[in-house]
Amino acid sequence: MKIDNSLPLEYSTEENRLKILGFWIFLGAEIALFATLFATYFTLVNRTGNGPIGADIFEVTPVLIETILLLTSSFTIGLGINAMRHGSKNAMMVFFIITLALGAGFLGTEIFEFKHYVHIGAGLQVSAFTSILLTLLGTHGAHVTLGLFWGLFIVLQVKKRGLTPETTNKAFIYSLYWHFLDVVWIFIFSFVYLKGMM
């Protein structure tokens, strides 16, 4: 394995560079996926049948908590990558664990929010609007859930194997994924919740 020492560890081998480009392209596909879900949401948002409209069911508090938790986690994972570039394994692990904790907090709040929707009669089957609302939020939530496990695996590997070209590559790609989920959430926050509550 040829290691190019002029580059950060995560970019240092040919294989690593391929993986990073591949993941960027995967994120392109993810953008197409969420764009389709958003387009479907905008198509169905006013098709509420006998069910509630957005303004009836959205609550500011949990949404704000979710937003703050996820945005902060995007910042802490950035700090984690910065620590990784400086070669301090422990600082990186601490920031990654904080990120995962914030992510878990986000997920917990979202589960609470979902239970609330079902409770007040805005379940998955009620109308086209509730179907796509919960599917859009749920797809994002499923991504976060997967990300929690993925991040946990990476922390375990860094702990055991240290900062190697492989582990830093995984951690860097994971950070791209996590930032992406944050970007999607900003769209959800603006175009689902804010627009819905206005």
Binding mask 44-83 for another protein (x = CB under 8 A): x--xxxxx--------------------------------
Tokens read off for 56: 């009836």
CA angle 160, 146, 96 (to 5 degrees): 45
Instruction: Please check whether residue 187 is in contact with residue 45, taking contact to mean a CB–CB distance below 8 angstroms.
Output: no
Is 25 an interacting residue with respect to another protein (CB under 8 A)?
A: yes
The residue among 102 and 126 lying less far from another protein, judged by its C-beta, is: 126
Stretch that binds another protein, among 62-70, 94-102, 118-126, 175-183 (CB under 8 A): 118-126
Q: Where are the alpha helices (DSSP H) in 45-88?
A: 54-57, 60-85
Q: Which amino acid is at 55?
A: A
Residues 6 or more apart whose Cβ sits within 8 Å of residue 28: none
Sole binder of another protein in the list 11, 75, 150, 187 (CB under 8 A)? 150
- Pick from 154, 190, 156, 185: which is nearest to 74 by CA? 185
Kindly state whether residue 93 participates in binding another protein, applying the rule CB under 8 A: no
97 counts as binding another protein under rule CB under 8 A: no
162 lines the binding site for another protein (CB under 8 A): no
Of the residues 3, 4, 7, 43, which one makes contact with another protein according to CB under 8 A: 43
| C-beta of 109 vs 114, nearer to another protein | 114
- 198 scored as a contact of another protein (CB under 8 A): no
Query: Contact 41/192 with Cβ under 8 angstroms?
Result: yes
Binders of another protein: how many residues, by CB under 8 A?
A: 40
Q: What single-letter DSSP state applies at residue 7? A: S
H helices then E strands: how many in the chain? 7, 0
Place of tokens 């394994």: 89
Stretch that binds another protein, among 36-44, 60-68, 71-79, 101-109 (CB under 8 A): 36-44
List of residues contacting another protein (CB under 8 A):
1, 17-19, 21-22, 25-26, 28-30, 32-33, 36-37, 40, 43-44, 47-51, 124-132, 135, 149-150, 153-154, 156-157, 170
